[in-house]
Amino acid sequence: MNILIVRVGAMGDVLHALPAVAALKRARPQWRVDWAVDPRWVPLLVDDERGPMVDMVHLVPASEWSKAPISLATLRSVLGLRKELRTEHYDLAVDMQGTLRSAVIGCMAGADDFAGYADPRESFAASFYKRKIARRGVHVVEQGAALLGAACGVELTPGAVEIPRAQWAENWAVEEAVISRPMCVLSAGGGWGAKQWPAERYGALAIELKQMGFDVVVNALRKDDAIAASVVKASEGAARVVVCNVAGLISLLARADLLVGGDTGPMHLAAAMGVPVVALFGPTSPERNGPWGPGEKRVLRDAASVTTYKRTAEPDAGLMKISVEQVVEAVEQLQKL
């Protein structure tokens, strides 16, 4: 079969779909599996033109489309993607995202069959599917495996994934980014405010981690990242910022001994790569969105947190109750394993 996966983003969403695709490639290695994805997340799937689990990627510049939705350039880009997708003559397209945009992209492929969740994230997306598949499983990784398995007619058990590593990023990590080991990465961002543990507490945590012997790194996508700068300032010099794109982050985490962070893409990437993780959860459910991967994990969530996926700016009340001392204790527990 010739299959198209549609999961455009964000980073965590792409990572949560990977175990299902990895399981499919193990079960049917002769099948071709391609992926439609935002250009930012391509390093999660392929190095150069091919990856361990994906044969080809189709670039979906969704952020550019959003900036100019009715421009001639956007129309040309959409039509170009449609032509590119249809050239591959897919037997099956599977929308693993469940939004109106991802459903339209899957429909543009003109595959013989198009499957998605019966209850997608955006309900109107289901009107585009030829097959609507009931959602099964608690964690989104389990749900993705059940969806893809049912769409392909193959029983899939989500397992380990192999993340590609670019040679230039490997060289950069060795020569510039990694100073000493053990190294702890702090992922202090988090999509929206309610998921973000305060930068001041990350700074206080960095001081404790430095005393425990860690080289403490705060990852940032840009030099002017305000959250990373706030963490370093609060750490009184105990932490340092490492600016890197996704390929660089992969190579950085490949050499990390620990990551502490919230429900963020970097935290999910670390978990997928087997890096020990202390995950700080607030409004989102660890049962549904928790770290998934082969490494050791500690998930902290206060009973005061109420599960909601509303993108509010105010910090979650339960997340605010997680103390620096609790995080240090979780780190110490991981060190004893």
Q: What average pLDDT does this structure show over 102-118?
A: 97
CB 162 within 8 A of CB 250: no
Element (H, E) at 274: none
Lowest mean pLDDT among 48-57, 143-152, 191-200, 272-281: 48-57
In sequence order, which residues have a C-beta less than 8 Å from that of residue 68 and are 6 or more positions away? 74
- Residues 76 and 72: their CA atoms lie apart, in Å, by 6
107 sits in the region (left: phi over 0; alpha: psi -120 to 50; else beta) called alpha
**Per-residue b or e along 60-93, where b marks 16 or more CB atoms closer than 10 Å to that residue's CB:** bbbeebeeeeeeeebeebbeebbeebeebebebb
Q: What average pLDDT does this structure show over 85-106?
A: 97
DSSP label of 177: I
Amino acid identity at 66: S
Extract the tokens encoding 157. 């058990």
Long-range contacts: 80-85, Cβ < 8 Å, 24+?
Answer: 81/36, 81/105, 81/108, 82/108, 84/58, 85/4, 85/36, 85/58, 85/109, 85/110
CB 74 within 8 A of CB 94: no
> Tens digits of per-residue pLDDT, 190-212?
888 999 999 999 999 999 999 99
Neighbour tally for 220: CB within 10 Å: 22
Q: What is the mean pLDDT of the chain?
A: 95
- Residues 319 and 224: their CA atoms lie apart, in Å, by 26
| Percent of the chain as helix, strand, coil, to the nearest 5 | 45, 20, 40
Q: CA 225 from chain center: how many Å?
A: 19
Determine the pLDDT at residue 105: 97
Determine the pLDDT at residue 63: 87
Determine the pLDDT at residue 262: 96
Determine the pLDDT at residue 191: 80
Examine the pLDDT at 270 and tell me if it is beyond 80.
yes
Examine the pLDDT at 123 and tell me if it is beyond 90.
yes
Could you check whether 2-152 and 167-336 share the same CATH topology?
yes
295: nearest Cα among 317, 270, 318:
270
Examine the pLDDT at 225 and tell me if it is beyond 80.
yes
- Residues 337 and 331: their CA atoms lie apart, in Å, by 10
Extract the tokens encoding 114. 């198009």
Residue with tokens 């950085």: 252
This prediction has a pTM of 0.95
Rounded percentage of the chain residues whose pLDDT exceeds 70: 99
> Tens digits of per-residue pLDDT, 145-155?
999 999 999 99
Domain 2-152 has CATH 2.60.40.10: no
Extract the tokens encoding 103. 């459903």
Extract the tokens encoding 122. 């955006």
Determine the pLDDT at residue 87: 97
Give CA separation, 304 vs 103, 114, 182, 205, 281, in Å.
36, 41, 33, 22, 11
Give CA separation, 141 vs 35, 92, 241, 315, in Å.
17, 20, 31, 26
Architecture of domain 167-336: 3-Layer(aba) Sandwich (3.40)
72: nearest Cα among 84, 64, 83:
64
Instruction: Parse the chain into domains and list their residue ranges.
Output: 2-152, 167-336
Q: What average pLDDT does this structure show over 39-50?
A: 88
Determine the pLDDT at residue 49: 65
Question: pLDDT category, 263, cuts 50, 70, 90?
Answer: very high
- Residues 23 and 4: their CA atoms lie apart, in Å, by 15
